[in-house]
């Protein structure tokens, strides 16, 4: 007999990512039916503040008619075309030019993909290709960071530095290394200043490069602010010191801007926020506000020229995707970027972000809060076990518990282990930020009574 309810049908037929399959069989899904601005509504009619903008991504809110119209108009004009064998179309050309103009440093070319994972996977291939073109076949290793997040394909999941993305998947692949996570609150030593910790992170990177052999390291990949690893804000002077190490050994810098890009930090890119000068930049999520699966990466001349030479030597650059530079995705991205600019959503992220950070900072002394942190409209509240509880609770149990309380009170967050992440749409208002913080306060009161 077939299941009747939508929840039962989901359990019967749908395998979810980032979900415990057996737990899902027991509890079923929250079914979201519609969105409106910063809010989403479930199939029971309950309204939630979408405090994660979906998955760090819906910049302009959930019912932006201009993006719907852009997709519809492009569907009518040219619903699909590819970019192989010298073919192109207006939306792809316009968007590539727009992104190059927006870049925080001088860039040369844009390559279009369909997700952040796919973009980073392609970047690793291009780095290998470039090293071969330079006559340096040994220069292939990439250094990432523990708790960094760069995707879930075989290559990008290897660069991701989270254990659950490796366990039972036979990852990471050879040639992908992970250095120190720059989380001062967790990784800093007693008596060590923030700047001293940043120095140690740079020294750890330098030591790894020396140990592996500088001539074997092709690139270093990192998010300006670590997102899915728990919203880790780099310590003061970190990026200055890391870039100094990379320059010393002629190692490419890849800035993964999938979460930080297009206003999230209160500036257009996280690279602007931290004066990062990347050779390659990965972009997705807020590029289309996730109204269409779409991603891209930019590269500078230093990266592009050897790749072009090698493609010429072989006769073709043997890589691409059916939907690379999809005209509908490109049209949606162009309109989305117009909205971000016209409505000064980057400025709004800076102003509302300051309010969000100040609001969460009120809870820094709460006995069940270890740290509040963030920049712009990306933040986290790290939960800690009640005094005397020791290690009685499994890592992540507090976060899962708080998630349930948030849902009851009308807020969607995402627990990264025991860190509650916040990343609302860039359109959020002062009142809506206040409402979010009020829900957090109310939920902390409930949480304290239930875990004591």
Task: Tell me which residue range forms the domain holding 444.
Answer: 31-60+344-451
Same domain assignment for residues 36 and 73: no
Same domain assignment for residues 186 and 328: yes
The tokens describing 289, both together, are 């506000």
The number of domains in the chain is 2
**What does the pLDDT read at residue 387?**
74
**What does the pLDDT read at residue 388?**
59
Question: Among 298-302, 327-331, 447-451, whose mean pLDDT is lowest?
Answer: 447-451
Same domain assignment for residues 168 and 221: yes
- Per-residue pLDDT band at 358 (split at 50, 70, 90): very high
> Residue 319 and residue 150: Cα distance in Å, rounded?
20
- Reference 409, options 370, 361, 362, 444; nearest CA is 444
Longest dimension (CA), the chain: 68
Question: How many helices (H) and strands (E) are present in the chain, helices listed first?
Answer: 15, 15
* Domain of residue 371, CATH code: 3.90.1150.10
**What does the pLDDT read at residue 213?**
98
**What does the pLDDT read at residue 394?**
81
Are residues 414 and 332 in contact, defined by beta-carbon separation less than 8 angstroms? no
Residues 6+ apart with CB under 8 A from 121: 151, 153, 154, 155, 156
**Predicted structure pTM score:** 0.96
Average pLDDT of the segment spanning 6-25 = 96
> Residue 83 and residue 270: Cα distance in Å, rounded?
29
- Per-residue pLDDT band at 3 (split at 50, 70, 90): confident
Are residues 332 and 288 in contact, defined by beta-carbon separation less than 8 angstroms? yes
**What does the pLDDT read at residue 447?**
94
Are residues 52 and 285 in contact, defined by beta-carbon separation less than 8 angstroms? no
- Reference 297, options 117, 145, 140; nearest CA is 117
The tokens describing 333, both together, are 């991205």
- Reference 429, options 41, 49, 1, 2; nearest CA is 49
Same domain assignment for residues 51 and 84: no
Same domain assignment for residues 223 and 310: yes
Q: Could you report the per-residue pLDDT of 398-438, keeping only the tens digit for each?
A: 999 999 999 999 999 999 999 999 999 999 999 999 999 99
């Amino acid at each position: 007999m077939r299941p009747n309810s939508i929840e039962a049908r989901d359990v019967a037929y749908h395998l979810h990512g980032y979900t415990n399959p057996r737990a899902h069989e027991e509890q079923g899904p929250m079914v979201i039916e519609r969105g409106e601005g910063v809010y989403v509504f479930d199939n029971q009619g309950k309204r939630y503040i979408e405090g994660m903008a979906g998955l760090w991504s819906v910049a302009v809110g959930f019912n932006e008619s201009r993006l719907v119209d852009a997709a519809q108009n492009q569907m009518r004009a040219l619903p699909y075309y590819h970019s192989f064998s010298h073919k192109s179309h207006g939306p792809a050309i316009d968007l590539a030019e727009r992104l190059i103009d927006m870049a925080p440093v001088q860039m040369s070319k844009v390559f279009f993909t369909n997700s952040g994972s796919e973009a980073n996977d392609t970047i690793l291939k291009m780095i290998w290709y470039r090293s071969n073109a330079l006559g340096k076949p040994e220069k292939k290793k990439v250094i990432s960071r523990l708790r960094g997040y760069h995707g879930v394909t075989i290559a990008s999941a290897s660069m991701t530095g989270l254990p659950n993305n490796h366990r039972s998947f036979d990852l990471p692949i050879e040639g992908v290394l992970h250095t120190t996570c720059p989380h001062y609150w967790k990784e800093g030593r007693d008596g060590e200043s923030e700047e001293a910790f940043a120095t140690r992170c740079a020294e750890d990177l330098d030591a790894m490069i020396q140990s592996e052999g500088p001539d074997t390291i092709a690139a270093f990949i990192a998010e300006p602010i670590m997102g899915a690893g728990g919203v880790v804000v780099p310590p003061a002077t970190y990026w200055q010191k890391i870039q100094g190490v990379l320059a010393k050994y002629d190692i490419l810098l890849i800035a993964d801007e999938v979460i930080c890009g297009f206003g999230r930090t209160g500036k257009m890119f996280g690279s602007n926020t931290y004066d990062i000068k990347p050779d390659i930049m990965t972009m997705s999520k807020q590029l289309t506000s996730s109204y269409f699966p779409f991603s891209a990466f930019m590269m500078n001349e230093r990266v592009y020229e050897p790749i072009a030479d090698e493609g010429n030597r072989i006769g073709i650059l043997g890589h691409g995707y059916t939907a690379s530079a999809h005209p509908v995705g490109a049209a949606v991205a162009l309109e989305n970027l117009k909205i971000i600019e016209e409505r000064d959503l980057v400025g709004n992220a800076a102003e509302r972000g300051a309010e969000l950070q100040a609001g969460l900072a009120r809870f820094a002394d709460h006995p069940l809060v270890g740290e509040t942190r963030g920049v712009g409209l990306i933040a986290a509240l790290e939960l800690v076990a009640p005094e005397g509880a020791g290690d009685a609770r499994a890592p992540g149990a507090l976060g899962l518990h708080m998630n349930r309380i948030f849902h009851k009170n009308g807020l969607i967050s995402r627990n990264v282990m025991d860190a509650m992440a916040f990343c609302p749409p860039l359109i959020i208002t002062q009142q809506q930020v206040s409402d979010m913080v009020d829900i957090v306060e109310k939920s902390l009161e409930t949480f304290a009574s239930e875990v004591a």
